[in-house]
Structure 1
Amino acid sequence: MADKNTTITLSDLPEDIVGEILARVGSSSRRQLRHVMEASKALAKAANDKGVYKALNLRPLVFHPLATRYRYKDLMEKTLTNGNIEAHYIKGILEYFHKNNTITGLQHLKLAARGSYSESMYLYGIILLSRGEMEEGKAYLDQLGWQHSKTRGNRCWRNIKKSLHGVLRLPAYRKTIRVMKPTIMYNLNDLENRCHHCYYYKQIVKFVFII
């Protein structure tokens, strides 16, 4: 039995427990994780763990994806390798919108969407709708629960606009808009007033013309 006066530090704990603790710290704040790593070489070594990279909070980079083109390359490589959904979302935006590598971009966005990352569920769904892949696109948007409340979808849209700010965009998908335009006029100029008849159509219009 350990002496009651013995001090047990984080680095004294079993490696798997330390990894779990550091993953939780990293999921809250990358900056806080960096502070922990600077406190001990042993902790810095323990932080080089796949669970830490998978859970690492990349939120600041989500809103500035272009920053990862020249910086954070090692970080992005490690987080992508270990299945970090925010890393896949960032990579998807860069590939699809900036590099015009649409297939690669969609693959990364789909991985993030399947990981239940809300912004990627919205963006992947709306891209599919805009490309004419209606059923799958609707299925992803429906997972955001817009039929009951549009709050989650609206929040996703605001965040997506921040992420896409300054990123080159692809040509508008105007053919899809013409095909999907409701036969009955549902206040089509009012993009915030959306019912179940015109929701998908208005989401595409916002995506194509307002980014």
Structure 2
Amino acid sequence: MPIDMQTEIISRVARHSRRAVRNLLAVVPPLARSAAVPIVYRNLNIHPLTVHPRAALQRYQSLMENCLASGNLQAHYVRGIQQYFHHQNVNGGLLHLQIAAEGSYEKAVYLNGVIMLAKGETAIGQAMLDTLGWRQSKKRADRCWKRVKRSLHGIRVTRLESYMTAYRNTRETIACHRDNIHERCDTCYYYKKLTKFVYMM
């Protein structure tokens, strides 16, 4: 079988999980030579690490570096969380989150959006959250927030002063449902998303 065809097969399997790739290589060992290539790492599904980014702080270093070098969006999301929150490297973390968001990785789109709101970059944050179609249905964005919170579980999230400044400034403009986090209209939607991020609700 041609090498490029082998790589295509492995790449498609990689979209399911790392375990699926390991199982395939266990059954057909000769395919291993076609597995360690950029397209496979770019498509490799590393969902478990997006759920627990802390797990990749000390382990999976080679895997993460190969995935990052190949443009794997999940890897950029994981590294973004590690850098922004755990290492408090704001610029480095945002760079990775932006790469993942620009690739339409939903959790990165949401997280980058609320971070922009919290940094006072209101127009950018709102535009990013708008891509999740909340005016048609809030379910997609709400699902993203639940998954982002799960990713952040166990990671110390520092409440920066800039967050509080943005929160207070935004709160002053809200006259509707200000103290009801569950009631969200077109006017207070972004404020509620900012509130949930600042207070990790």
Question: Scaled by the length of structure 1, what TM-score is found?
Answer: 0.91
Which amino acid in 2 is paired with 1:72?
Y
Counterpart of 2:154?
A: 166
* Counterpart-to-counterpart distance in 1, 2:80 and 2:70: 16
Which amino acid in 1 is paired with 2:42?
K
> Once structures 1 and 2 are overlaid, which stretch shifts more, 167-176 or 111-120?
167-176
Return the offset for 1:70.
1.1
Counterpart of 2:194?
A: 204
* Counterpart-to-counterpart distance in 2, 1:119 and 1:192: 21
Counterpart of 1:153?
A: 141
**Contact 2:177/2:188 (8 A) holds in 1:** no
The partner residue of 2:100 within 103, 112, 117 is: 112
Structure 1 residues 36 and 207: alpha-carbon distance in aligned structure 2, compared to 1, 3 A threshold: same
Helix, strand or coil at the partner of 2:199: helix
**Contact 1:182/1:201 (8 A) holds in 2:** no
**Contact 1:89/1:112 (8 A) holds in 2:** yes
The partner residue of 1:195 within 172, 175, 185 is: 185
* Counterpart-to-counterpart distance in 1, 2:176 and 2:197: 18
* Counterpart-to-counterpart distance in 2, 1:109 and 1:26: 22
Task: Structure 2 unaligned segments of length 5 or more: list them.
Answer: none
Counterpart of 1:89?
A: 77
Counterpart of 1:5?
A: none
**Contact 2:67/2:75 (8 A) holds in 1:** yes
Counterpart of 1:185?
A: 175
**Contact 2:174/2:188 (8 A) holds in 1:** no
Counterpart of 1:58?
A: 46
Return the offset for 1:155.
0.5
Counterpart of 1:101?
A: 89
What's the CA shift string for 1:165-204, capped at 9, x where partnerless? 0111122411101111154532222222211100111100
**Root-mean-square deviation (CA), in Å?**
1.2
**Contact 1:119/1:157 (8 A) holds in 2:** yes
**Contact 1:36/1:44 (8 A) holds in 2:** no
* Counterpart-to-counterpart distance in 1, 2:183 and 2:140: 15
The structure with the larger Rg is 1
What's the CA shift string for 1:1-21, capped at 9, x where partnerless? xxxxxxxxxxxx221121111
Task: Structure 1 unaligned segments of length 5 or more: list them.
Answer: 1-12
Question: Scaled by the length of structure 2, what TM-score is found?
Answer: 0.95
Return the offset for 1:42.
1.9
Which amino acid in 2 is paired with 1:16?
D
Structure 1 residues 184 and 120: alpha-carbon distance in aligned structure 2, compared to 1, 3 A threshold: closer
Return the offset for 1:164.
0.1
Percent pairwise identity: 44
Q: How does 1:28-43 map to 2 (within 5 A)?
A: 28-43=16-31
